[in-house]
Amino acid sequence: MKKHTEKRKAGSILEVRCLCSSTPNVCIHRVAFDDGKYAVVRCVTDVCLVPGHTLTRDAQGWHYDELILKLLPFEYVGQTESDRGFAEYQ
Q: Can you give the residue range of the structural domain that contains 55?
A: 9-88
| Percent of all residues in the chain with a pLDDT value above 90, rounded to a whole number | 59
Provide the number of structural domains found in the chain.
1
Determine if the pTM surpasses 0.85.
no
Q: Look at residues 89, 90, 49, 44 and name the one whose alpha carbon lies nearest to residue 71.
A: 44
What lies within 8 Å, CB to CB, of 17 at 6+ separation is 27, 28, 86, 89, 90
Indicate whether 1 belongs to any domain: no
Indicate whether 2 belongs to any domain: no
| Percent of all residues in the chain with a pLDDT value above 70, rounded to a whole number | 88
Indicate whether 77 belongs to any domain: yes
Indicate whether 61 belongs to any domain: yes
Indicate whether 78 belongs to any domain: yes
Q: How high is the pLDDT of residue 21?
A: 67
DSSP, res 72: P
